[in-house]
Structure 1
């Protein structure tokens, strides 16, 4: 089964060597190796050095494996009720040379940290869920306008600044153009508050349920009144407008909330969806649109599916080292992020244990490399001319 999966993407590699290395790379991702970076994966594969793994991610000639993974996911998970989910996740990094890295707010750490941000697209249906696309967010001022920094990190000249919602819309458009059939997109406030993303989805006839802030202004009363979202619920009756429904299964069973909706605009297709926590009374708000008239339960289902992408992140980071890379190059990042998703093409794996001689050789090489790396900055400082 594993070799059948690799055979599916074999045509993307122009030479046999990177094809064999990709096979070893994915085997390593699916193994129990502690650190799933180029060093750890090369050691797991029985290679003498990490050079082949690094060459695979940065310089080898191959591409479009993401398209194969997306096609496979849709063939096996695609249903009429499938939903696209957009979200980002952070990757904590040291230094300033990794493509897109800067001090920025990331949910991974829950605060501002030196990190990279990746925007992801997931697909979820009753059959399962999987990540199907990714984009590295490139900050505008610290990266897009710095030609030298872009060059060192291998950022292509054609790459320009794009907001996270813009990246999300590009991935959605690519999936739709590739033949994906879906009626809904969902995401958090970062995406719900972007009017261009909402307009782009409406132009393609794709419905959305996107979280938004309580301060977002919406138009009610047949477009005659503009109020913050948290004030719009004032037009709801105290009891009849609220309906207790499940937002899907959670770790402790169905996740029940009270839900209500308010028509906004004048076309009958735009709604403000409101979720109320049954225990605390806390409110959450969603901007919704659909090309046809739908029931409240349809919007609730889509809103609840959004959490599937968090489960995808947890699985990818915990099982196949999505966040354990040690690469700085633009191409290397996108390739590393793509290869873990090949696990969806594979049913089982039984890695061969490494010999004691291989383990000892890698231990010696790793420590030698670490000593060299540690002393290099001191050598550069000594060689620099002193100024008086």
Structure 2
């Protein structure tokens, strides 16, 4: 009650994604970015490109899968510039609800079946509550009582990765 909404959630999402288009480079990456972001917020347990392709383009799943794989795998944009743009767009909205009150450092784990994704190793996986095959990322977020915003994000590389220069080279690290 009494809450002002500036446009529908769809139009606000579209404006948000359009704001990111300028920092990802070529205009031909705009539609895959839209599709990828849409896939991230759609229902579904797995957020890999295969199920995202099925949700975002059910009539042409194979082509969409290839498009999303290319977008993610050949993403030659700057993560720092993308995060800076997100901060520029989102921080003023968070600030409307009060000042930043906390900086939060946290780790996030992603269970994985294989061993070829960068950083995957048998290590503690908080999501599973035990040691298992996973990737781990460390993030820095800022927050107030209304919302939080990740402002920095790095993939953790276990020692078995950092000590294997050939593996790092193959993975493009």
TM bracket, shorter-chain basis: 0.7 to 0.9
- Is residue 88–residue 119 contact of structure 1 (8 Å, CA) maintained in 2? yes
1:8-157 aligned within 5 A? 8-33=19-44, 35-46=46-57, 47-49=60-62, 50-63=65-78, 64-78=81-95, 79-140=98-159, 142-155=160-173
How far is the alpha carbon of 1:34 from its aligned partner?
Answer: 5.2
How far is the alpha carbon of 1:20 from its aligned partner?
Answer: 0.7
Distance change in 2, residues 1:109/1:54 (3 Å): same
* Structure 1 Cα separation of the partners of residues 105 and 68 of structure 2: 30
How far is the alpha carbon of 1:81 from its aligned partner?
Answer: 4.5
Match of 2:103, SS state, is strand
* Structure 2 Cα separation of the partners of residues 132 and 13 of structure 1: 17
* Structure 2 Cα separation of the partners of residues 143 and 100 of structure 1: 6
How far is the alpha carbon of 1:144 from its aligned partner?
Answer: 1.1
- Is residue 119–residue 156 contact of structure 2 (8 Å, CA) maintained in 1? yes
In the superposition, the TM-score normalised over structure 1's length comes to 0.37
Match of 2:151, SS state, is strand
1:3 aligns with 2:14: yes
1:238-249 aligned within 5 A? none
How far is the alpha carbon of 1:84 from its aligned partner?
Answer: 0.7
Match of 2:22, SS state, is helix
How far is the alpha carbon of 1:65 from its aligned partner?
Answer: 1.5
* Structure 2 Cα separation of the partners of residues 136 and 5 of structure 1: 25
How far is the alpha carbon of 1:33 from its aligned partner?
Answer: 4.3
In the superposition, the TM-score normalised over structure 2's length comes to 0.79
- Is residue 97–residue 149 contact of structure 1 (8 Å, CA) maintained in 2? no
Distance change in 2, residues 1:36/1:91 (3 Å): closer
- Is residue 105–residue 112 contact of structure 1 (8 Å, CA) maintained in 2? yes
What is the aligned length? 154
Where does the alignment leave 5 or more consecutive residues of structure 2 unmatched?
1-10
1:217-232 aligned within 5 A? none
1:262-273 aligned within 5 A? none
1:247: which partner in 2? none
1:346-365 aligned within 5 A? none
* Structure 1 Cα separation of the partners of residues 119 and 42 of structure 2: 29
Distance change in 2, residues 1:115/1:35 (3 Å): closer
CA-based RMSD of the aligned residues comes to 1.9
Q: Which runs of 4+ in 1 moved over 6 A?
A: none
Match of 2:117, SS state, is coil
Q: Per-residue CA shift, 1:320-358, capped at 9, x if unaligned? A: xxxxxxxxxxxxxxxxxxxxxxxxxxxxxxxxxxxxxxx
* Structure 2 Cα separation of the partners of residues 9 and 90 of structure 1: 25
Higher RCO, Cα 8 Å, sep 6+: 1
